[in-house]
Amino acid sequence: MSPAFFVRPGAGQHASPPAKGASMTFELYYWDGIPGRGEFVRLALEQAGADYTDMARADGGTERMMAMMKSSPTETPPFAPPFLKHGELLVSHVANILLYLGGRLDLAPKDEAGRLETNGLQLTITDFLTEIHDCHHPVGTALYYEDQKAEALRRSESFLGERLPKFLGYFERQCSASAQGNIHAVGGMLTYVDLSLFQVVEGLRYAFPKAMKAAEPDYPQLVALAAQVRALPRIKAYLSSERRLAFNENGIFRHYPELDRPPA
């Protein structure tokens, strides 16, 4: 695959996004080998049947991604992946990317209030992911897990006992049945937040299977939403494809048995 190039607008100008419905390929940049934060973008692209390329999984893709961050010709290069390139436009941060994609992929309400509500829920998911990640790396990301096991155990106990039910309870309250009887988080329609909540539930089941088995009966709407997303034809096909990256101990959701304790 040839390198992806970005054409910088003239001084004082900004790249214009392609028109809604344009067939231009989306280019997703994220680390190869881990689902991580990039998976939340992939799920939206997959559900929409969008034409996209997972750039870092192509030959030399990671090197191109690093080059774009270090010497991007944009006025504001991305700090870190994931970021999305669409035509001349470069969008960084998961919630920002999904805000951009939502209207284009029919995965967000059309009214401004609905779009803002959806974005707000995605930002709360971002906060949730930070706390999940910090269960296994509470001291520093540059340290190995083995260098902070005692702190990780203490952090996980607090997370599972206090923060997990707080976040799950919040999202449970956001879920409601549509006129068709399906469970959704926003406006009675399938949005990117539903897809993201599916990934969160799946990730928590991987990282904390015992804790989630004990907790899930308290969140029936959220569990039902995750099951509905898994059954969507395009998501079902994606999950069984090679494009879906398995959870592993290099991502946000990591399974360390000693950290998985059902809350008292």
Q: What percent of the chain has pLDDT over 90?
A: 72
Does domain 26-104 fall under CATH 3.40.30.10? My reply is yes
Kindly report, as residue ranges, where domains of CATH 3.40.30.10 are found in the chain: 26-104
Mean pLDDT in the chain?
88
How far, in Å, CA of 191 to CA of 228, rounded? 12
Top-confidence residue, 114 or 65: 114
The answer, yes or no, to whether residue 202 has pLDDT greater than 60, is yes
- When pLDDT is averaged across residues 170-192 and rounded to a whole number, the result is 90
Question: What pLDDT band is residue 178 in, cutting at 50, 70 and 90?
Answer: confident
- When pLDDT is averaged across residues 182-208 and rounded to a whole number, the result is 96
**What CATH number is given for 112-232 in this structure?**
1.20.1050.10
- When pLDDT is averaged across residues 89-106 and rounded to a whole number, the result is 96
Q: Where are the beta strands (DSSP E) in the chain?
A: 26-29, 52-54, 83-86, 89-92, 176-177, 183-184
Please report the pLDDT score of residue 13 as a whole number.
40
Angle, vertex CA 254, rays to CA 237 and CA 34, nearest 5: 50
**Residue 176, phi then psi, degrees to nearest 5:** -150, 160
Place of tokens 């191109």: 64
The answer, yes or no, to whether residue 3 has pLDDT greater than 50, is no
Contact (CB, 8 A) for 108 and 56:
no
Top-confidence residue, 188 or 232: 232
pTM of the model as a whole:
0.89
- When pLDDT is averaged across residues 201-228 and rounded to a whole number, the result is 97
Helix, strand, or coil here: 146? helix
The answer, yes or no, to whether residue 181 has pLDDT greater than 90, is no
Kindly report, as residue ranges, where domains of CATH 1.20.1050.10 are found in the chain: 112-232
- When pLDDT is averaged across residues 51-58 and rounded to a whole number, the result is 89
The answer, yes or no, to whether residue 20 has pLDDT greater than 60, is no
- Beta-bridge partners for 54: 28
Please report the pLDDT score of residue 73 as a whole number.
59
